[in-house]
A and B are shown apart, each in its own frame.
Chain A
Amino acid sequence: MQKTGGQLVMLVAINCLLLVLGAAISGGSFLSLFNLQSMASQLPEIGLLAIGVMLAMCAGNGGIDLSGIALANLSGVLSAVIVSSFLSSTDSETAFSLAFIAGALAIGFLGGLTNGLLISKLNITPILCTLGTQMAFMGLAVVVSGGKAVMVGSPALLSSIGNDMFLEVPISFLIFVVVAGLIAAALKFTPYGLWLMLMGTNPKAALYAGFPKNGVLMATYAISGTLSGLAGAIIAARNVNVKFDYGSSYLLIAILIAVMAGVKPEGGYGRVICVVLSAVALQLMSSLLNFGGLSNFVRDFAWGLLLLTFLAVGRYDLTGFLFPGNRQPVSLAPRPHAPKRDN
C-alpha cells in the first residue's frame, strides 16, 4: 500500500527543520537571499539526474540509470567541441548558446535512447547496461576532449542561465522546477505515465495486457538521457568549462535522493514532487554542514542517518504514530497465494 501522504509530509517537515537549524547555527545568514540563491543554483544539475533515476526505477525489472552524470558530461563536452567548430561563443552569442543547448539535449537524448534500445530490445539488465554505457560515455568524452577541460565560454544566454536570477530565483532552478513539473504532469495525465507505473508493478501482466512495453522503456530511458543532457548544459552554464569526470559523486547521490523520495527500487511507484523535495533536503543538509564548518565525512554520515530514518518511516508508518487521526487500517483479507499448479 502506498504511504504517499506520509513520505511527502516527512520531506516537508525535514526541509523546514533544516531551514530552522541552518538559521540557528548561522545567526540567520543561512536564510539570507544570497545563500538561498546559492543553494538553489547548486541543486538543478543533480536534481535532474535524480528524476532520471526515478523514472528508470519506476519502469521496474531492476530499472536504474547509472550513466546519468557520464552522459551529462559527454553532452557538454561533445556539444561544446562540435558547436565551437563552426560558431564562436564571443561573436554570435545567442546562436552559440542555443546551438550548444540544443546539441547537449540531442546528445543526451541519443545516449538515453541507446540505453533504452539495449534494455528493451536486447533485454540487458538495466544495471549492467547503464554501467557499460556509463563507461562508454565517459571514454568518448575523454577522447573528444583529450582528457582536458573544454572551455565553453560565457555567451550571454548561457551565462544568464548559469548565473542570473528571475524575480530573485536562479534561472537554472526555475528551469529545473519547470521540467520537473512537465514530467510530473506527464506521469499523472498521459498514457505513458499509467503504462510506466503499471509495468513497473508487474511486467508480465503488462505484457499480457498488451502494453507497448518496448516503447515505454525506450521513452523512459530517452527522457532520462535528455535530462542528463540538460544537466550537462546547466553545468556548462555555471562552470564555464566542462570536463569528462565532473561530478563523479553525483551518481550515488542521485540514487540516494530517489530512494529517500520513496521511489520503489523494484518499480511501480514514484512521485516527482517527493524527488524534488528530497533533493532540496539533501542540498540543505549539505550546505548546512558546510556552513557549520563540519567535515564532509559528517555530511555522508548525516545523509546515511536521514536515509535510515526515511526507511524506518516507510516501514513502520511513523506518520500514523505522529498523526493518530490518519492511522491506516491493516487490511483484513489475508494475502491469498495462487493455488499451486504442478506441471
Chain B
Amino acid sequence: MKALSKKMLAGTAVAAAMLAGSAGALVAQEKPVIATVVKISGIPWFDRMNTGVDAFAEANPDVDASQSGPATADSAQQLQIIQDLVAKGVNALAVVPMDPAVLEGTFKRAMERGIVVVTHEADNQTNTNADVEAFDNADYGAALNERLAECMGKEGKWTTFVGSLGSRTHMQWVGAGEENAKKYAGMELVDPNNESFDDANGTYEKAKEILRKHPDIKGFQTSAGNDVLGVGRAIDEAGLTGKVCLVGTGLPNPSADLLESGAITAIGFWDPQKAGMAMNAVAKLLLAKKEVTNGLDLGVEGYNKVTVKKGAGEGLLIVGNGMVLADKATYKEHLF
C-alpha cells in the first residue's frame, strides 16, 4: 500500500511539473497580446476560427494572437476565462460571447483597464469597442428562409432550431426568417425556437420527435453549426430525404455527406476563419489607435469594404459581406 501511494504522489508531481512546463514561461511580453475567446472549444466551427487566428498570428509577427474557450457551453465558464485574461493583463480581447449580457460587467472593467474589447455575433453588446458581424443578421436570416421557402414550394409546415434562447444572433436569424415567411400564406410555423445547445445528438433526438409529432412537416430552418447535422441525420433515417427541406447554418465539410444525399437542402455560413481574422485585424487597428471607417478594407476576404455603424453602446458596429449560401452543387467551392 505504501509503495502505491508513493507512486501516486510521484505521478502527481510529475504531471504537475508537466503542466507547469507546458504552460510555458510567460514572462513579461513585449508584443501586444490579442486573446481570442470563443463560445466553446473543440467544435468544428471554432476549430475553423482557430485556423484564422493562427493565420493572423503568422501574418502579423508583431502581435501575439491565440485562441481559447470553455470546454462546455456555459457562459459562466467563458466569463471565468475572460476574467483571468483581464487579470493577466492582455492588451486586447476578441470574444464570441456565449451570452453577451453576462459579460457586460467584465468588459466594462476590462475597458477601464485599457484593454481593447472586440466582439463577434453580439451586436447588442454595450460594453465593447467594436462588434464585427459577417453580414447583417436580418438579411441572413431572411436569405436562409427564402431558400427554404423555395424548396418547400412556398407552402407547408416548418419549424426552427436555435443554439439557445439566449443566442442573440440565432434568435435574430430565425426572427428574420419568420418575418420572411409571412409573405407566404401557405407556410405555417410550428413549434419554433427549439434549443439545441450545440449538441448534434440532442438535435437529432429533438428532430425525430418533431418528425413524429408533425408527420406532414415540410421544412426546417436551423441556426447553430451542428444543428443541420443532427436534423439532417434524422431526416435521412426517417427516409424523408427529398420530401422535407432543411436549410441552416453549417460548414461545408461536416455537411458534405448529408448535402450529397440531399437530406440538407442548403447551408448558409460565413467563414469563421475570416471572421476570426477580421476580429483580430480590428483589434490590432484599435490597439494602434487607428480609425475604422466606412468602406475600410480589413485585408480579409469578405471584409474588404466594411460598413461602419454605431454600435449598441459607445462602440462601433462593423458589418462585412461574407454571407455564403451553398447547396449540393456549389459547396465544393468552399471546402472547410
- Asked if B4 and A162 sit within 8 Å, CB to CB, the answer is no
Give chain B nearest CB distance to A17 CB in angstroms: 8
Give chain A nearest CB distance to B30 CB in angstroms: 13
- Asked if A25 and B66 sit within 8 Å, CB to CB, the answer is no
Instruction: Report chain B residues within 8 Å CB of A17.
Output: 16
- Asked if A296 and B68 sit within 8 Å, CB to CB, the answer is yes
Give chain B nearest CB distance to A168 CB in angstroms: 15
- Asked if A250 and B76 sit within 8 Å, CB to CB, the answer is yes
Q: Return the contact of B164 from the options A42, A245, A298 (Cβ within 8 A).
A: A245
Q: How far is the CA of A239 from the CA of B85 in the complex (A)?
A: 17
Q: How far is the CA of A287 from the CA of B84 in the complex (A)?
A: 6
A-facing residues in B58-77 (Cβ within 8 Å): 66, 68-77
Give chain B nearest CB distance to A100 CB in angstroms: 16
- The reply on B27 being an interface residue by CB < 8 A is yes
- Asked if A286 and B75 sit within 8 Å, CB to CB, the answer is no
B-facing residues in A285-301 (Cβ within 8 Å): 286-300
- Asked if A248 and B2 sit within 8 Å, CB to CB, the answer is no
Instruction: Report chain A residues within 8 Å CB of B89.
Output: 29, 34
- Asked if A291 and B26 sit within 8 Å, CB to CB, the answer is yes
Instruction: Report chain A residues within 8 Å CB of B77.
Output: 249, 296
- Asked if A25 and B72 sit within 8 Å, CB to CB, the answer is no
Residue of A whose beta carbon sits closest to that of B127: A240
- Asked if A295 and B41 sit within 8 Å, CB to CB, the answer is yes
- Asked if B26 and A25 sit within 8 Å, CB to CB, the answer is yes
Instruction: Report chain B residues within 8 Å CB of A246.
Output: 75-76, 99, 102
- Asked if A38 and B83 sit within 8 Å, CB to CB, the answer is yes
Instruction: Report chain A residues within 8 Å CB of B85.
Output: 290
- The reply on A264 being an interface residue by CB < 8 A is no
- Asked if B72 and A249 sit within 8 Å, CB to CB, the answer is yes
- The reply on A4 being an interface residue by CB < 8 A is no
Q: How far is the CA of A26 from the CA of B85 in the complex (A)?
A: 12
- Asked if B8 and A312 sit within 8 Å, CB to CB, the answer is yes
- The reply on B288 being an interface residue by CB < 8 A is no
- Asked if B26 and A247 sit within 8 Å, CB to CB, the answer is no
- Asked if B27 and A27 sit within 8 Å, CB to CB, the answer is yes
Interface locus among B17-25, B207-215, B235-243, B270-278: B17-25
Give chain A nearest CB distance to B243 CB in angstroms: 32
Q: How far is the CA of A148 from the CA of B72 in the complex (A)?
A: 20
Q: How far is the CA of A25 from the CA of B23 in the complex (A)?
A: 7
Q: Size range of the interface on A?
A: 35 or more
Instruction: Report chain A residues within 8 Å CB of B19.
Output: 289, 292, 294, 298, 302
- Asked if A318 and B5 sit within 8 Å, CB to CB, the answer is yes
- The reply on A120 being an interface residue by CB < 8 A is no
Q: How far is the CA of A25 from the CA of B26 in the complex (A)?
A: 6
Interface string of B9-51 (1 = CB under 8 A from A): 1001001100110111111100000000000011000000000
Assuming the A-B contacts A32-B87, A149-B166, A290-B84, are A247 and B76 also in contact, with contact meaning beta carbons closer than 8 angstroms in the complex?
A: yes
Assuming the A-B contacts A246-B102, A316-B2, A316-B5, are A300 and B86 also in contact, with contact meaning beta carbons closer than 8 angstroms in the complex?
A: no
- Asked if B80 and A42 sit within 8 Å, CB to CB, the answer is yes
- Asked if B84 and A38 sit within 8 Å, CB to CB, the answer is yes
- Asked if B102 and A239 sit within 8 Å, CB to CB, the answer is yes
Q: How far is the CA of A288 from the CA of B19 in the complex (A)?
A: 10
Residue of B whose beta carbon sits closest to that of A21: B20
Q: How far is the CA of A18 from the CA of B16 in the complex (A)?
A: 10
Instruction: Report chain A residues within 8 Å CB of B79.
Output: 239
- The reply on A147 being an interface residue by CB < 8 A is yes
Q: How far is the CA of A298 from the CA of B1 in the complex (A)?
A: 29
Assuming the A-B contacts A24-B20, A292-B23, are A297 and B8 also in contact, with contact meaning beta carbons closer than 8 angstroms in the complex?
A: no
Instruction: Report chain A residues within 8 Å CB of B27.
Output: 27
- The reply on B289 being an interface residue by CB < 8 A is no
Q: How far is the CA of A315 from the CA of B1 in the complex (A)?
A: 9
Q: Which residue of B2, B80, B166 has the most chain A CB atoms within 10 A of its CB atom? A: B80
Give chain B nearest CB distance to A155 CB in angstroms: 14
- Asked if A149 and B71 sit within 8 Å, CB to CB, the answer is no
Q: Return the contact of B88 from the options A29, A247, A296 (Cβ within 8 A).
A: A29
- Asked if A295 and B23 sit within 8 Å, CB to CB, the answer is no
Residue of B whose beta carbon sits closest to that of A252: B72
Residue of B whose beta carbon sits closest to that of A248: B74
Q: How far is the CA of A245 from the CA of B104 in the complex (A)?
A: 17
Instruction: Report chain A residues within 8 Å CB of B165.
Output: 142, 147-148
- Asked if A305 and B87 sit within 8 Å, CB to CB, the answer is no
- The reply on B183 being an interface residue by CB < 8 A is no
Instruction: Report chain A residues within 8 Å CB of B15.
Output: 305
- Asked if A293 and B24 sit within 8 Å, CB to CB, the answer is yes
Extra pairs beyond A308-B8, A316-B2 (14, CB < 8 Å)? A25-B20, A149-B102, A239-B101, A247-B76, A290-B88, A296-B68, A296-B69, A297-B41, A297-B71, A309-B8, A312-B8, A312-B9, A313-B5, A318-B9
Binding site for A on B (CB under 8 A): 1-2, 4-6, 8-9, 12, 15-16, 19-20, 22-28, 41-42, 66, 68-77, 79-81, 83-89, 99, 101-102, 104-105, 109, 164-166
The 5 closest A-B pairs by CB, nearest first: A292-B23, A290-B84, A147-B165, A35-B87, A247-B76
**CB<8 Å pairs between A and B, sample of 28:** A21-B20, A25-B24, A27-B27, A35-B84, A35-B87, A42-B80, A151-B101, A240-B101, A241-B101, A243-B75, A245-B164, A245-B166, A246-B102, A247-B75, A247-B76, A249-B77, A287-B87, A289-B19, A290-B68, A291-B26, A291-B84, A293-B26, A293-B66, A296-B72, A299-B71, A313-B5, A316-B2, A321-B5
